[in-house]
Amino acid sequence: MTTPSDSRIPVQLLGNTPAPPRGLGKIQPRTAPGRFRRLRVGLGAVLLGLFFGLPWLQINGRPAVWFDLPQRQFHLFGATFWPQEFTLLAGVLIVAAFALFFTTVYAGRLWCGYACPQSVWTWLFLWCEKITEGERRQRLRLDAAPGSLTKALRRAAKHGLWLVLALATGLAFVSYFSPARALVIDGFTGQASAWAYFWVGFVTLATYLNAGWLREQVCVHMCPYARFQSVMLDRDSLIVAYDSGRGEARGPRRPGSDPRAQGLGDCIDCTLCVQVCPTGIDIRDGLQIACIGCAACVDACDEVMSRMNYPKGLISYTSERALAGEPPTRLRPRLLGYGAVLGLMLLALGASLATRAPATLDISKDRLLYRESADGRLENVYRLSVTNKTAIDQTYHLSASGWPGLRLQGNAQLNVPAFAEASAVVTLSLAPEQWPGRTVAISFHLAAGDAQLSADSRFTGPDP
């Protein structure tokens, strides 16, 4: 009889992880049809569609997502953000970080298995390999076969598809920084800038190497997430795990036979769970750093269990506590803590976006403290910089306040085109008899329709 302690998940999270089995060269994962594969394919198709499609989407005559570095602007679905608003970017990154922490505590490496670019592109490159070189067994035979014209043609077709996908990836990536339509036309006619060619080539090469050659090595050895996830999991985290209490002892048998009569568990030791793993691990050895949580082994094992007329779930998304036969703890402090912080950050970010001003006003005072005009008035000079964040040309009306008798000299109107900046030099003057003998705090005001902007500065004069 199996005791609860016998069902606990063997964990290999710390220390050195043994190298995955290589068989006849590189890892050649087998395709495992099933519900989790359909989920991966569907989500991957959505993510790839967004990545390749967004640069071509136009809003108000501009790309929907465009990092316009020369103009120091970030266009996002009709809104324009400026360097002064990078605190919003920090907020987005913090939200993304806590969303990743929350997901990891709840269900392990879901990000790695379903949405990480390395995984998505690797699955795509594996599909190219499958349609050019065949399924796993055919690829292994091709790897072991001597050189031939057929082998060379299949390899050429595979690498050709890889390079086409890598080039498309490079063009799509650079299209987020340079409009896609112009980039493609200029790129293929030799009119693009040297920097555009450099970055397209760099991303193309990186994609080709990462998704085509390095693959699982990026996940196992280069990605830091595999390391720090170990301190985030708890006994209630959902992970891909093998039920050793039900599966052991392993051994082959005829379909429909009673494994208990033979002293066996439900695992028939077919090794399909190893063959389908993109990182080449054996999930039956316990949770390992190299496991990306893609659940390919779950699909493979469920198919075998169905053929054997055994219950599914020998390998499944479960938790250490569930395998030990203990009731799960849904609401635990760590999960609640990450969820609370994530919710607060989302509220703060949403409030910041909702109250975001349609324009900004920056004031810089001339280095000269003050000067006297021809009629004896005290004058201070200021440079005003106005950023129009809207899609409409604006005319701003300028005024100043802060002390009785202040007079604004210069143009009281400032025309600023849509998504642009404009600056103007203005002068404030004050009669000597109205000077209080100390620095005066003042404010400049801009008005355009219902929009009101203010910025503070100071007015200086002679010592008393």
**Domain for residue 3, yes or no?**
no
The confidence band for 8, taking pLDDT boundaries of 50, 70 and 90, is: very low
**Domain for residue 100, yes or no?**
no
- Domain residues for the domain of 453 are 359-459
**Domain for residue 410, yes or no?**
yes
Predicted local confidence at residue 345, as pLDDT: 94
Mean pLDDT score of the chain, rounded to an integer?
90
The confidence band for 24, taking pLDDT boundaries of 50, 70 and 90, is: very low
pLDDT in tens, 205-246: 999 999 999 999 999 889 888 788 778 888 999 999 999 999
Cβ count within 10 A of residue 452: 11
Number of compact structural domains in the chain: 1
**Domain for residue 393, yes or no?**
yes
**Domain for residue 415, yes or no?**
yes
Q: Which of 11-15, 360-364, 392-396, 455-459 has the lowest mean pLDDT?
A: 11-15
Model confidence pTM above 0.95: no
Q: Which residue has the higher pLDDT, 13 or 214?
A: 214
**Domain for residue 215, yes or no?**
no
pLDDT in tens, 300-323: 999 999 999 999 999 999 999 998
Cross-sheet strand order for the sheet of 440-448: 413-416, 394-401, 440-448, 451-459
Answer yes or no: is pLDDT of 325 > 80: yes
Closest residue by Cα to residue 330 from 405, 238, 457, 460 = 238
Q: Which residues contact 166 (CB under 8 A, 6 or more apart)?
A: 203, 204, 205, 207, 208, 211, 212
Q: What is the mean pLDDT of residues 113-139?
A: 96
The confidence band for 25, taking pLDDT boundaries of 50, 70 and 90, is: low
Q: What is the mean pLDDT of residues 87-115?
A: 92
**Domain for residue 425, yes or no?**
yes
Predicted local confidence at residue 231, as pLDDT: 81
Closest residue by Cα to residue 384 from 396, 368, 393, 392 = 396
The confidence band for 4, taking pLDDT boundaries of 50, 70 and 90, is: very low
Cα–Cα distance, 218 to 231 (Å, whole number): 20
Predicted local confidence at residue 94, as pLDDT: 92
Percentage of the chain lying above the pLDDT 70 cut: 95
**Domain for residue 73, yes or no?**
no
- Look up the CATH number of the domain holding residue 445: 2.60.40.10
pLDDT in tens, 167-196: 999 999 999 999 999 999 999 999 999 999
Is 386 in contact with 361 (CB distance < 8 Å)? yes
Is 299 in contact with 37 (CB distance < 8 Å)? yes
Predicted local confidence at residue 450, as pLDDT: 73
